[in-house]
Amino acid sequence: MSRRGVERRSIDVVPAAERTGTPTSQFTLWFGANMQITAVVDGALAVVFGADALWAIIGLLLGNIAGGIVMALHSAQGPRLGLPQMISSRAQFGVYGAALPLVLVVLMYLGFASTGTVLSGQAINHMLRTDIPAVGILVFGVLTVVVATFGYHYIHMLGRIATVTGILGFGYLFVQLLSQHSLSDLLGQRPFDLATFLLAMSVSAGWQLVYGPYVADYSRYLPANTPESHTFAGTFLGSVIGSQIAMTLGALIAAYSGKAFVANQVGALGDLAGPAVMAFVIYLVIVVGKLAVNCLNAYGGFMTILTTISGFTGRDRISRSTRALLIGAFVLVSLLVALLASKDFIDNFKNFILVLLMVFTPWSAINLVDYYLVSKERVDIPALYDPRGRYGAWNTGALVTYVIGIVVQIPFLAQKLYTGPFTEMLGGVDISWIVGLVVTAGIYYPLAQRQRLAPDRMIYPPGRTADDH
């Protein structure tokens, strides 16, 4: 792939000659993508819904660490396989069967893209001094299409920019916050509450876990001999540190502003920045950070749509014009959703995160158990594109396990629309994602061991050898 042109690779294997980069690039990408306003909102959720800021911050950290471990284990698959994340799901679900989680992944990307676009559009409108919501949303959509279409290297470059702007912008906001409010005024104002503490853990764990379906898309160009521990560490540290900084800021802002932050998240950061010129700078930081992650959503959405289609067509490559068309269509739908978004943003966002957590926890459990414990990192790559190959068209056992992994969480849910009976017995504590991980892994592991679908060694496409990787 040329560094100056539109990326040529899509869901096909990245050859050795095009492998480049270091695990440091994973750190800056995920740090920059998480130092952004939606993570600030995520961090504010537990405080807004009743937790003390101190306990919320601790819960957020524990959730980020737990979810970050799972997310980074997915990232470590990228260099060895040279494939987008969801292509590898065919080894578990079958070439056609992988379409089930794939469709849900597309909906996830659309949800995050649209909610992020709402906030970014508000920041752009503040910068342009206009009250017309569509202006900021459309400007942000155009920027997303351009960067996502050019692809992998440009997205990583944007991640490096977002890392620098995020450190400077959020560092300034922390200074402003602590110059106006003492920590004693923000922390320790409420007693410990287990339900809201676990809510904080759930929203931050969910934040990390939902990156799983596309995190390897951004590590697949690394040389195949890149140590997995290095890829893991770069991704884990970047994502967890970036997220925790932003979420901590959100928890502290919510501790003093409460409903004011709920009503106007972007404006609250602008007000905290102080002088108009600094508010403008913070709005720009918001846009850069959101652009970094929104390009991940658009790029990942395009890859997932293509993966779904190719499972039935057998094609693994498309033209650059088709690539631009798919990305443009995805962004257009996300813009329409953003324009129609409810004003009750923060409450809907909390429930959106928790629903995603319920859906993607069992997917992560199946993918990681299979790759690391059953297949032991051995994959028949050509068979991922052939419904008559080793992995077949449908893996009924994996699909049934996936559905069970979702259903078993329902009695443990604590959401606005539904609270499960076990949740009520636990005093409102939501442990559904823990139940989903444990039950799904426990069912899938012996099933996969009996199926024995893994090859004895890595099998590469024709014309490629292990030396190429």
What digits encode the pLDDT tens for the residues 128-153? 999 888 899 999 999 999 998 888 78
Distance CA 287, CA 121 (A): 8
300: number of Cβ within 10 Å = 28
pTM over 0.85? The answer is: yes
What are residue 380's DSSP bridge partners? Answer: 459
334 band by pLDDT with thresholds 50, 70 and 90: confident
Residue 16 predicted with pLDDT over 50: yes
pLDDT of residue 286: 94
SS3 category, 145 = helix
Sequence ranges of the domains in the chain: 21-346
Q: What's the first-to-final CA gap in the chain, in angstroms?
A: 16
Least confident segment among 61-70, 274-283, 312-321: 312-321
Q: What is the largest CA-CA distance in the chain?
A: 65
The tokens describing 250, both together, are 């959100």
| 367-417 confidence digits (pLDDT tens) | 999 999 999 999 999 999 889 999 999 999 999 999 999 999 988 877 666
pLDDT of residue 324: 84
DSSP-assigned letter for residue 419: B
| 81-127 confidence digits (pLDDT tens) | 888 888 888 999 999 998 888 888 888 788 888 888 888 999 999 99
SS3 category, 379 = coil
Q: Which CATH architecture has domain 21-346?
A: Orthogonal Bundle (1.10)
